[in-house]
Amino acid sequence: MAATSVVPLLPLETKHPSSTVLVTGCTGYIAGPTIERLLRAGHTVHATCRDPGNTELLARLVALPGADKRLKFYKADLTHVGSFDEAVKGCDYVIHMAAPVTLGKVKPGEGKPKLIDPMLAGVDNVLSAVNRAPSVKRVVMTSSISAICTTASDKPKPADGSVLLYTEHDWNTTATEDFIPYARGKTLSEKRAWELAGQQSRWDLITVCPSIVMGPTVLACDSSESVGAVRDILWPGLMWPAAGDIGLALVDVRDVAALHCLAMVTPAAKGRYIAHAKSTNFFNVTHGNHSYTLIGVVASVFPKFWPARSLAPYWLVWLLGPLLGIGRDMLRALWGPAPDFDTRRTLSDLGLPGWLPEVDTWRDMILDMEAKKQIKMK
């Protein structure tokens, strides 16, 4: 778990008075490193999950430094009205992270009941609880770049030939209930949060929009899409001998955790912030040809890893995608260059000095998963 501490606390965090923070969805992929960082900064954390009595699941959170005195668990469910009321009592801040995350395994017609409706209910129920808790002064909510765009071609390239960069001003207009319903849910739920925030003036709202999040986390997170991508596709060698041209907009989970905490304590923070380090693709991540700029990131660190040697054609990946857990709507959205994002405002406003290198993200994630016996080292 030491790997979750790579991004040091910044002065704004260390100087901020100890506070009480509600983190929803504490068993989630991003929540673990965020809770670790909050505890490291001296805060008390109220953490919600559906089953706080599951001591085996929560053991790694309980073992974090400071957790014995400053981490408390509460039962809550996104879809249950009033279930966050007890957890939010006495909190100064709320970091709302809980949301269903399913990208490639949603059957037609399931997007609304499985993803969109729970996301919207979660926003309504968490922010209603905030409205009933007079101590809360700021809410930081995890959104996604999926609320900004679905593909790199969602809007036309600049006429002057410059690089197309998406910004905080962009909103996803292409996702639907049937085409990338996760992105549709993220868009609607973030807009709903802004609507509710605008109906009052006691607390303010900040949203963080991460790209695809990878890196070492605290809990095992076996059901996480990120863990599954490494465990079930990347590490077993399913991108050997060829990998599809699947775009990957990447950010390290430790940077995402830091941004949530910095958004919480930065007085002048406002609006949306994009968390994104690099746009690449799975071929560049896996291939073994060291003449490429990315030098086959995973292959360069783990010599026995089976790297991709060539690009697989779209028709082949389209046929095999469902067998790999890649939905065809997701394949359509991700095929080709990943979108790129302007993060200058994020770094400037929140003071993060930069993004963790991609090689650190993959190396630390793979070693972390090996330590948790989720994969075996080759």
Helix 181-197 / helix 117-131 crossing angle, nearest 10 deg:
20
Is residue 378 annotated as a catalytic residue, yes or no?
no
Start-end of H helices in the chain: 11-14, 31-40, 55-62, 67-70, 85-88, 111, 117-131, 181-197, 225-228, 253-265, 282-286, 297-301, 314-320, 328-334, 344-350, 358-371
In the set 15, 72, 114, 186, the catalytic residue is 186
Among 123, 81, 74, 69, CA closest to 100:
123
| Alpha-carbon gap, residue 90 to 15, rounded angstroms | 21
| Alpha-carbon gap, residue 88 to 22, rounded angstroms | 6
> Which residues are known to be catalytic?
186
